[in-house]
Structure 1
């Protein structure tokens, strides 16, 4: 017995225009930050296993139209985040050299950002925040995204600079911050890679 029913469709022959985008509330920096949250209770997080090789990981991201994935082990334990820039930039080559491995032998775990280096916000604080507050927070921490945790400490969601930029149709430039001398070099090399492309 099928509990679903088919819906009736309509013809498009007399449809010529798009609806006015102002029929819905436009998003502004003053809009609720909840409007740009990727909420894991409504949409499953983008996950990737730590031992996937970097070429396959990049293929998965490109074909899935995503820029980052949460890294897990085989027990579904959260380990960190990997983004497409991690998989294509100088970081890959320097890690291959450091580990004395071929680039093609590197895994997601080798180039990911570990959870100890990431920042999170309590989901409850985002409920009363504005999109502009999130941008200021991302600028302050120098990262492209911030994770959200629930009261019990579980991952509830994520907000990314790229999602905000797409939603508001504005550029959102977040400069990485260095917390050590080693990170200064990594950031310089990352910016060289961006301008070389």
Structure 2
């Protein structure tokens, strides 16, 4: 354990103000969309194996302070995305009942959004876009995330509504859009849960 060392700290009893951050301007909807990209060339994507049970997956997300993970199989092939919201709520019980399983038997693969249902944007398009353009895109899609692909068709990154909200210090309300009867059912039940 000798490779690292604890750094010296100072007491804050005489500190009352924040420093001025002259190097960066506050982000706005007109700022470059690149400011809110999770770029997989700079940071490894948050991934989870498809066969992890949903309780363990939720534990991993909560302890990792993330709201979503990309789902992969054992060959690291991208299969979809799972959010903390997917792992809780009435839809989980509905899926368990439909598959004739108990809740404890469900895996990430059972509740994820598959890649067939996801949308992506070319990374080059994001380079010239504003954060407001991404917000409008997310609203139009009715999704909390949009994935980014490079010119070779590889996953390059992701932008999430929660990252935008955190960067702009403002709430971000993206209404889900139903694309099937099951999605309508899910949205109605999730809306009822929010009211309760």
Residue 138 (structure 2) aligns with: 138
Using the TM superposition, give the Cα deviation of residue 20 of structure 1 relative to its aligned residue in structure 2, in angstroms.
2.4
Alignment of 1:16-55 (within 5 A): 16-21=16-21, 24-55=24-55
Residue 84 (structure 1) aligns with: 84
**RMSD of the alignment, in Å?**
2.0
Distance 2:10 2:177 in 1: 54
Distance 1:81 1:5 in 2: 36
Residue 97 (structure 1) aligns with: 97
Residue 108 (structure 1) aligns with: 108
Using the TM superposition, give the Cα deviation of residue 18 of structure 1 relative to its aligned residue in structure 2, in angstroms.
1.7
Using the TM superposition, give the Cα deviation of residue 195 of structure 1 relative to its aligned residue in structure 2, in angstroms.
2.1
Distance 2:61 2:148 in 1: 22
Distance 1:16 1:9 in 2: 20
Distance 2:4 2:102 in 1: 54
Using the TM superposition, give the Cα deviation of residue 178 of structure 1 relative to its aligned residue in structure 2, in angstroms.
1.0
Distance 1:11 1:185 in 2: 55
Q: Deviations over 1:91-141 (max 9, x none)?
A: 110011001111011000000000000010000000000000000000000
Alignment of 1:140-179 (within 5 A): 140-179=140-179
- 5+ residue gaps, structure 1, are none
- TM-score using structure 2 length: 0.92
- TM-score using structure 1 length: 0.91
Distance 1:82 1:10 in 2: 39
Distance 2:39 2:11 in 1: 34
Using the TM superposition, give the Cα deviation of residue 24 of structure 1 relative to its aligned residue in structure 2, in angstroms.
2.1
Distance 1:55 1:73 in 2: 18
Distance 1:154 1:104 in 2: 34
Using the TM superposition, give the Cα deviation of residue 180 of structure 1 relative to its aligned residue in structure 2, in angstroms.
2.2
Distance 2:19 2:80 in 1: 41
Residue 194 (structure 1) aligns with: 194
Using the TM superposition, give the Cα deviation of residue 5 of structure 1 relative to its aligned residue in structure 2, in angstroms.
11
